Structure 1
C-alpha cells in the first residue's frame, strides 16, 4: 500500500503547485524594482499558494499599458497608482473598493504618515493602501558651486520672487558660466555660448507641475483647488501666470537652456553631464543621482517665495487592485503585505524611496547616509508648506489641456495669462 500512497501524495502536491494563483503586479520605477522583488520573495515564502509576477516599464508606457489593459482585460491585478490618475479609474469602476476587506481583516490604517491614507478614499470607499511619499528639493553641483564661490549655506537659504528672482536668481547667475569662464553677473557674459546653465526647469509640466513649477507657484500664493475633489481648479490664477512667465523667461537671460533644446535630453541628463548646476527633482530620484552624478552634489531645500514660505507638493503613491482581477483575494493579500510595516521596512533598507508607514522614512534616510547621500532636505520640506496634487475627475483631459497651455508659454507662443485663461475655462467646464 505504501507505493500507491506515495504516488497519490506526489500527484496531489504537483496539482497544488500547478494551481498556485499568480498575482500580476506592475510598477514604473526601475530603481524600486529590487526592493519590491525582495518583498515578493518574502511574501511568497509566507504564502506558498501565491506567486507574484512583477513587471516594470517607464512612466508613459506604464500608464498606456494600464489603460489599454482595462479595455482588453489584461491589466495587472495590482498596480502602483498615482493621485493624478486614480480619480478617473475609480469613476470608471476600474478599481476595487478595499474598504470591506480592510474592515473584514481589521487592517490598521493609522500606521501611515498623516494624510496619506485619506487621500485614497472617496465617498466611504478606499482605492489603495499607501506605499510611500515624496517631496521636491533642489539638486546642486557642489563641485561647480565651490568654483564659482557659492556656498552650501547660501544655497540652503535662497528666496525667490517673480519680479527680480530674489537671491535664487542671483546665485543662478553666479553659477551660469559661458565658454570663456564668465558668469552671468559679468558684463562680458556671452549668453549665446553657455557652458554651464545655473538652473534648468525640467519642462512645461502638466496639470500638477510637480517638479517643474508647482513649488514656485504655491510659494507665490497659488492654489490648485479649495479641497480634493472640488471641481473648480484655479489655473487662471495670476500667481500661476507670473510664475510660468518668470520660468519661461529664464532662457532669454541665458541662465537656462531653452525648452526646445532640452526636450529630448532632459534636465536630469544635463545635470549628470555637468551642463546644469541646479535642477529640481523629487525624492524618488535620490538613488539615480547617487549612482550617476559622479561628482560632489547636494540636495537643498526649495527657496522661500513671496509668501515667506517654502512649498512642496507632498505626493503619496498607493497600491490598487484592478476590479477585473480574477484573483482578488490573493491580490488583496499582496496589497496588505505591500502596505505593511514588514514590506515597507524592507523597502526602507534599500534607501530608494520614503515608505508610508510611520518611522520607515527615517530608516531610509539612514540607509542613504550609508551610501554617502544626505537626503534630509526632503524631510525638511515636509515641515514647510506642503500641498497635494490636484485631485479631480477627468484627469487625463485636464492633463492634456494644461500641458498644451504650458507649452505655449514655454515655447514663447503665448503669455501665460492668455494661455491659462483659455485652459482654465476648458478645465472647469469639464467638472461642472
Structure 2
C-alpha cells in the first residue's frame, strides 16, 4: 500500500507540473494557527463567521482560511501533499475521498479525541456513513449536502403554456422522452420563433434551447444525465460504497445516454461545441439562451439572482422505474495526516460539524448543512428571501436520492470515462463504446 501511495503521489506531482500549477508557499501552521482550505467563494462568509465564533471559544487558536476556485483547488491540494505544504484541514469531496484514503494522506477522525464522537444519527441519513473507509475508519466530518433539480424560467414556461404543476409531474423514457422531452421541445425556439415541436423548426439556428448543458458529464453526470439513468433503476457500481464493479455497460445506462445526447441532435440541447467553461448552464440560463437547467442546490442563489429572470424549480422527472431520482452529494471536512497543528485541526473540524456552526452556515442561505438543525436554518433563510427549495429537500424526505460512486481508482475512472463521454456527445460516437471503457475500468478495480 505504501509503495503504491508513493507512486501515485509522484504521478500526481508530475501532473501538477504539467498543468502549470505549483504548490506555492508553505501553508504550514504554527501551534496557534489552523490552516483551512475550501473552494466555494459563496460559502466563505459563513465559514469566516464560524471561525470567529470558534476562536472566541478557543483562545489562542487562529483559523486561517484559504479559498480558491474548483479547478485550482484539487491541483494545488494534490501538489501540496507531494511538497509537504498541505493545509491542516480541507473541504473534501466524496468523489476524491477514495483516492486520498488510498494514498494515506488523511487522519482517521475516529482516532482523534475531539472528533471520535461523530455519530451518523446527528446528520441527514447517509452523510456520515459515506465517509468511512474500507478500513472501517472515518475520514470526513459531515459538512453539507446537495441534490439536483430543474431550474426554469417562469416567463418562458408561461409563454409555452406549462404550469408549475405540470413541470413537477413530468415523466421520461428512452423511447420517446415522455412528457419531459415534450416540454423541452416546446420550450425550444429557433431564430424565427418556431418551437421545437412545430413544423419548420430549424435545429441548426436555435435562439433558446429547452435545456441547458454542462458538458458530457464525465463518469458521474451529476447535473447532466445522472437523474435519468438512475430513474431507470441503474446504479454506477455493484454496491453503494466501495464498489468493485462498474455498470457503464448496462443496457439501461446506454439507453439513457443515447436518449440524453440525442436531445442535442434534435436541437433541444446545445451541441458540445457551444459549451465552454465560461458558458456553463447557469450562464446559458441567465442570458436567456436556455429555458431550463438541471443543476445543484449549491447554485440556488446564482439562479435566483439573475436580473430580469423570474426563476422556479421543479423536481426531476419520474423514469421508467416508476420513481424519480437525484444525486445526493455530501461534502465533509478532513484532517490531513501530517497536519502541523493536529490538536487545533481536530478541534476545528469538530466545531465545523457541530450544531452551532452548521446553524450559522444554514442562516447564510447558501447550502444545506449536514445536521437537521442546519438544514432547517437554511430552508428558513431561503424562505425569507422568497425562495421555495422544496424541489431539493423533497427527494431527501422521499428517499429518492443516490450517491456518487465511491470506489478505488476514482482518478483513473475519470480519465477513462471523460473522453468516451465527450466522444459520444461531440462526435456522435456509438454508446456501444462504453462496453470497452467499462471493461478497462473493471480491469483496474480487479487488481
Shorter-chain TM-score range:
over 0.9
The SS at the match of 1:423 is helix
> Which residue of 151, 156, 161 corresponds with 1:139?
151
Q: Does 1:409 align with 2:424?
A: yes
Q: Does 1:240 align with 2:229?
A: no
Alpha-carbon distance in 1 for matches of 2:412, 2:73? 18
The SS at the match of 1:292 is coil
Structure 1 stretches of 4+ moved >6 Å: none
What's the CA shift string for 1:233-258, capped at 9, x where partnerless?
Answer: 11111111111111111122111110
- The CA deviation at 1:292 is 2.8
Alpha-carbon distance in 1 for matches of 2:57, 2:201? 64
**Do 1:259 and 1:411's aligned partners in 2 also have CA atoms closer than 8 Å?**
yes
**Do 1:195 and 1:275's aligned partners in 2 also have CA atoms closer than 8 Å?**
yes
What's the CA shift string for 1:18-55, capped at 9, x where partnerless?
Answer: 97521111111111111111101111111121111111
Corresponding residue of 1:15: none
Corresponding residue of 2:55: 44
> Which residue of 313, 328, 331 corresponds with 1:299?
313
Q: Does 1:94 align with 2:105?
A: yes
Task: Give matches, 1:67-86, under 5 Å.
Answer: 67-86=78-97
Alpha-carbon distance in 2 for matches of 1:106, 1:149? 53
The SS at the match of 2:121 is coil
- The CA deviation at 1:408 is 1.1
The alpha-carbon distance between structure 1 residues 385 and 182, as it changes in their structure 2 partners (threshold 3 A), is: same
Alpha-carbon distance in 2 for matches of 1:116, 1:94? 21
**Do 2:34 and 2:62's aligned partners in 1 also have CA atoms closer than 8 Å?**
yes
Uncovered stretches (5+) of structure 1, i.e. residues with no partner: 1-17
> Which residue of 295, 316, 341 corresponds with 1:327?
341
Alpha-carbon distance in 1 for matches of 2:89, 2:99? 17
What's the CA shift string for 1:171-225, capped at 9, x where partnerless?
Answer: 1111111122211121022222211111123221122211111111011221111
- The CA deviation at 1:334 is 0.3
Q: Report the TM-score, using the length of structure 2 for normalisation.
A: 0.90
> Which residue of 207, 210, 226 corresponds with 1:198?
210
- The CA deviation at 1:335 is 0.1
Alpha-carbon distance in 2 for matches of 1:213, 1:375? 21
**Do 1:150 and 1:174's aligned partners in 2 also have CA atoms closer than 8 Å?**
no
**Do 1:65 and 1:75's aligned partners in 2 also have CA atoms closer than 8 Å?**
no
> Which residue of 364, 373, 376 corresponds with 2:390?
376
Uncovered stretches (5+) of structure 2, i.e. residues with no partner: 1-28
The alpha-carbon distance between structure 1 residues 353 and 396, as it changes in their structure 2 partners (threshold 3 A), is: same
* RMSD value, Cα: 1.6
The SS at the match of 1:195 is strand
Corresponding residue of 2:122: 111
Q: Report the TM-score, using the length of structure 1 for normalisation.
A: 0.93
- The CA deviation at 1:107 is 4.6
Corresponding residue of 1:261: 274
**Do 1:32 and 1:352's aligned partners in 2 also have CA atoms closer than 8 Å?**
yes
Alpha-carbon distance in 1 for matches of 2:164, 2:423? 35
The SS at the match of 1:250 is helix
